[in-house]
Amino acid sequence: MSTVVVATHNAHKLGEISLSLGAMLGPGIELIATDGPEPDETGTTFEENALIKAREAFRHTGRPSLADDSGICVDALDGAPGIRSSRFSEEGTDAANVALLLDKMKGVKERTATFVCAVAFVTKDGERVVRAEWPGVIRAAAKGKAGFGYDPIFSPDGMTGTAAELSSLEKAAFSHRARALGLIAPAINRYFQRS
């Protein structure tokens, strides 16, 4: 069996990665969750942090490893919270992060924002990193129960509802994460065809 270690400690991300990527990989390629340590995310870009996490999982397991670094970049806040999205509020929970962002956006007219996802794939043969985006706007109040993180206050362009009102299958087809995984999937399939 060919296995890819998914280097995330976020159960929501793991679920979304399995749903999106599962459908794009060749038969016999299995995704397994990491049991390794969580490295410090010391990079200054999504790409650097995705590589740090994938390299650590590869170092720990010796198996092909994939990691996602993602977040939301709000134009009126000069791109914040960006790579600090999971640590935006002091508490660092989804609810506290959402409350802080809503507070900072109170009365702000320019509400455009972009979800960004970098995905890194590290193997004995080398490293590959891709990045994708999902543009939209920040709503004035939270709506919807699905998803995680900032989903309840983000309306993707072309949709009237929030990302938290999408079904898991819809989000797995449209999101920044789905788009980045679509870019990396051919490299994963090629790696196992060669090995």
- Residues serving a catalytic function are 69
- Total residues contacting ligand ITT by CB under 6 A comes to 22
- Closest CB to ligand ITT among 42 and 193? 42
Q: Does 97 bind ligand ITT (CB under 6 A)?
A: yes
Q: Please, what is the minimum distance in Å from the beta carbon of residue 126 to ligand ITT?
A: 22
CA 176, CA 146: separation in Å to the nearest integer? Answer: 16
Q: Does 151 bind ligand ITT (CB under 6 A)?
A: yes
Other Cβ atoms less than 10 A from the Cβ of 10: the count is 14
Q: Does 71 bind ligand ITT (CB under 6 A)?
A: yes
Q: How deeply is 97 buried, as exposed, middle or buried, from its count of CB atoms within 10 A (0-12, 13-18, 19+)? A: buried
> Which residue has its beta carbon closest to ligand ITT?
149
- Closest CB to ligand ITT among 10 and 18? 10
CA 166, CA 155: separation in Å to the nearest integer? Answer: 10
Match 């996802």 to its residue by tokens: 117
DSSP element (H, E) containing 129: strand 126-138
| Closest to 161 measured CA to CA, from 135, 134, 148, 142 | 142
- Closest CB to ligand ITT among 13 and 179? 13
Q: Does 155 bind ligand ITT (CB under 6 A)?
A: no
Q: Please, what is the minimum distance in Å from the beta carbon of residue 10 to ligand ITT?
A: 4
CA 52, CA 75: separation in Å to the nearest integer? Answer: 26
Q: Does 165 bind ligand ITT (CB under 6 A)?
A: no
User: Binding residues for ligand ITT, per CB under 6 A?
Assistant: 8-10, 13, 41, 53, 68-72, 85-86, 97, 115, 147-151, 175, 177
